[in-house]
Amino acid sequence: MSCPCTSAARLFLNTAHRGLSCSRIQLYSLSRQGSRETHLPPRVRVRSFSETAVCYASKDGTTKDSGDGGKKNISEGKRLSGSGGSGKGGSQLRCPKCGDPCTHVETFVSSTRFVKCEKCHHFFVVLSETDSKKGLNKEPESAAEAVKLAFAQKPPPPPKKIYAYLDKYVVGQSYAKKVLAVAVYNHYKRIYNNIPAGSRQQVEVEKQPSLTPRELEMRRREDEYRFTKLLQIAGISPHGNALGASMQQQASQQAPQERRGGEVLDSTHTDIKLEKSNIILLGPTGSGKTLLAQTLARCLDVPFAICDCTTLTQAGYVGEDIESVIAKLLQDANYSVDKAQQGIVFLDEVDKIGSVPGIHQLRDVGGEGVQQGLLKLLEGTIVNVPEKNSRKLRGETVQVDTTNILFVASGAFNGLDRIISRRKNEKYLGFGTPSNLGKGRRAAAAADLANSSGETDTVAEIEEKDRLLKHVEARDLIEFGMIPEFVGRLPVVVPLHSLDEETLVRILTEPRNAVVPQYQALFSMDKCELNVNQDALRAIARMALERKTGARGLRSIMEKLLLEPMFEVPHSDIMAVELDKDVVQGKSQPRYIRAPAKETAEEEYDSGIEEENWPRQADAANN
């Protein structure tokens, strides 16, 4: 006769791989030899381990589901949010399966735990307040998922495609557009190359439509790992030992770490890690530096942040800290750290943080101190960035690695051409002794102002500046006021040329968001046409050259010219406004073309219709 436990053991072995749910096995003692049976309820509900669904119930009563979205959950469709009140102003926890309120569990849960429903005996997880904020869906393979979004769906755009897109919005500056297009394409490739090999293989495996048995086994082990991690979070050991599994066991099942110590010395194969090449754009005001960045931000699949250096100060002083640069990038990445670590940062007005000589006895808070704080940020370090909706003083920070973040700096560097001409010993008055000339950005700006105050030809002066800026070197930037360590971390120096008369005429009409079409759309909302002939465009471009404000001067001239027509046209019989060269030079008034006269009653009727249909006309003008 066999052992009394034989039948029970056989039953356990038959049902172990499927799992038992709500089953009760009663074994009689050894003293009663006559009864060796096992009594089970009439209906035994079993569920396989791969389909085990664990429901999370947060503090507010809402439920979540762990596991992949493709897996079926037995209790789906019957989840009820805890909308009922507990009488104390808080929400009650409800069972996600039967909806019965769990009165034996407090509304405020201090730690994540498993809860059993008293009515249907269903197990679910109640999240604590801290875990419900962070979320349990953050897996260690989130970096691979971010890369999968960037590369598995579509390949990165080639440089020629990016250049053609920039050409639709920005006129001229072909060298700068080529540098930015190549830099963005290399940024995509560097991100893909610097991923750990295990994550890249996982992405490639997920791209395959069919799965081999070995891959299915890997998927099954991943599910087991997730369930084990869930038990550890709940404070239950997966091996049945004591409560509170150690963090070492949890960390040991994460992604494989890098080789260190003797393994590096013994290994023969070394992977090439691509490093970034930061860019600095130099050019006069109104030449298109910021417009290039704004246009580039719309066509990228990586986070892109445009930051202003004029508001940055050293740590501990009034103003924005240097970490706010990465905080803006994190905000653009929707607070995903892995995506933010692969983004691009555009530092605008970087020449405003140049050091000013003569105040070395004091701390240069907004100048040299900011450059020193940006050094490790440009090269690559781990920055503590404040979390979403939190202040820095509370200590709630997120660590962001800036190793793979590309930095593009830009600045006008007014007076840099005078420094270059001084270095090349060109155009000096007298004997050309540079002893009485100061250093720093203020001295450079004063020298540029003194040089341009004379009665010189504007076109010749622009050509001379462009010729000198092509020979810019790192020592010229150092003499301007940038520290050598900062200049060394921006290896690619891109000078932008000034805008001549022909380029300004093209800017008025050619780009997607040109100036003249904008004003034509404004007039078309009032059923009026705006016609500007070619001579008027050239006269406007010539006036903008004399103002020395670049493309920004075009809008101020157009506003001044069209002030009177924009005042006269609304609710009038003017059908068209024409501008010619004499109007631009102030010799005559704009020419109005009026509609034929109508009767008074018809005019009042038409004006009422126009007021009602004005939004429709505005939409038609935009289209």
* Confidence (pLDDT) at 136: 43
Strand ranges for 141-298 from DSSP E = 279-282
- Exposed / middle / buried, residue 300 (Cβ in 10 Å: 0-12, 13-18, 19+): middle
Q: pLDDT value at position 245?
A: 36
Q: Helix, strand, or coil here: 103? A: coil
- Look at residue 478 in the predicted model and tell me its pLDDT: 94
Mean pLDDT of 77-103: 57
pLDDT above 80: residue 432: no
Work out the angle between the directed axes of helices 174-193 and 289-298 (0-180°, nearest 10): 40
Mean per-residue pLDDT for 68-82?
38
Give the β-pairing of 123-126 and 55-57. parallel
Q: Is the pLDDT of residue 175 over 70?
A: yes
Q: What would the DSSP string read from start to end of 326-390?
A: HHHHHHHTTT-HHHHTT-EEEEESGGGG---TT-TTS--TTTHHHHHHHHHHHH--EEEEE-TT-
Tokens of 234: 């709940």
Q: Write the CA distances from 271 to 261, 276, 585, 620, integer angstroms.
A: 16, 16, 66, 57
Whole-number Å distance between alpha carbons of 444 and 415: 5
Question: How far is the C-alpha of 339 from the C-alpha of 324, rounded, in Å?
Answer: 17
Q: Starting from the edge strand earliest in sequence, which strands make up the sheet with 123-126, in order?
A: 63-65, 55-57, 123-126, 113-116
Taking a C-beta distance cutoff of 8 angstroms, is the pair 93, 100 a contact? no
Token digits for 507?
Answer: 């800017």
489 has a pLDDT exceeding 70: yes
- pLDDT band for position 549 (50/70/90)? confident
Burial grade of 177 (CB within 10 A; 0-12, 13-18, 19 or more): buried
pLDDT, mean of residues 336-347? 92
How far is residue 482's CA from residue 309's CA, in Å, rounded to a whole number? 13
- Supply 607's token pair: 């004006």
Q: What is the pLDDT of residues 18-42, one digit of tens each?
A: 544 444 444 444 444 444 444 544 4
The β-bridge partners of 357 are none
pLDDT tier, 225 (very low <50, low <70, confident <90, very high otherwise): low
Label residue 74 by pLDDT band (50, 70, 90): very low
Two tokens at 79?
């989840």
More reliable by pLDDT, 447 or 617 = 447
- At 301, the pLDDT band (50, 70, 90 cuts) reads confident
Check whether 87 has a pLDDT greater than 50: no
DSSP 311: G
Express each pLDDT in 353-383 by its tens digit: 998 776 555 678 888 899 999 999 999 999 9
Give the per-residue pLDDT at 228: 61
- pLDDT number for residue 117: 84
What are the pLDDT digits (tens) for 435-449?
Answer: 445 667 777 777 777
Q: How confident is the model at residue 271 (pLDDT cuts 50, 70, 90)?
A: confident
Nearest Cα to Cα of residue 168 among 510, 520, 508: 510
Of the pLDDT bands very low, low, confident and very high (cuts 50, 70, 90), residue 47 is very low
Higher pLDDT, 259 or 419: 419
Decide if 567 contacts 574 (C-beta within 8 A).
no
Cβ-proximal residues to 250 (8 Å cutoff; 6+ apart), any chain = 229, 232
Query: The tokens of 544 are what?
Result: 């903008």
Structure tokens that stand for 147 in this block: 């890369």
Name the token pair of 60: 């507010």
For the chain, the average pLDDT equals 75
Annotate 141-153 with three-state secondary structure: CHHHHHHHHHHHC
Alpha carbon distance 486, 163 (integer Å):
28
At residue 101 the predicted structure's pLDDT band, cuts being 50, 70 and 90, is: confident
Confidence tier at 517 by pLDDT (50, 70, 90): very high
pLDDT, greater one: 18 or 505: 505
Confidence class of residue 554 from pLDDT cuts 50, 70 and 90?
very high
Q: Of residues 161 and 80, which shows the higher confidence score?
A: 161
Tens of pLDDT, residue by residue over 568-605, are 999 999 999 999 999 999 999 999 999 987 655 455 55
Tell me which of 517 and 55 has the higher pLDDT: 517
Q: Which of 107-121, 158-172, 412-426, 607-621 has the highest mean pLDDT?
A: 158-172
- Top mean-pLDDT range of 10-24, 198-212, 248-262, 448-462: 448-462
Question: How far apart (Å, rounded) are the C-alpha atoms in residues 516 and 522?
Answer: 10
Judge contact between 53 and 73, C-beta under 8 A: yes
Asked if the model's pLDDT at residue 246 lies above 50, the reply is: no
CA angle at 507 for the pair 501 and 512, rounded to the nearest 5°: 170
Query: Average pLDDT of 390-413?
Result: 85
Q: What is the pTM of this model?
A: 0.67
By C-alpha distance, which of 374, 321, 366 is closest to 347? 374
* DSSP code for 47: -
Angstrom distance (rounded) from CA 199 to CA 338? 13
pLDDT band at 395 (very low <50, low <70, confident <90, very high): low
Cβ-contact 495, 473 below 8 angstroms: no
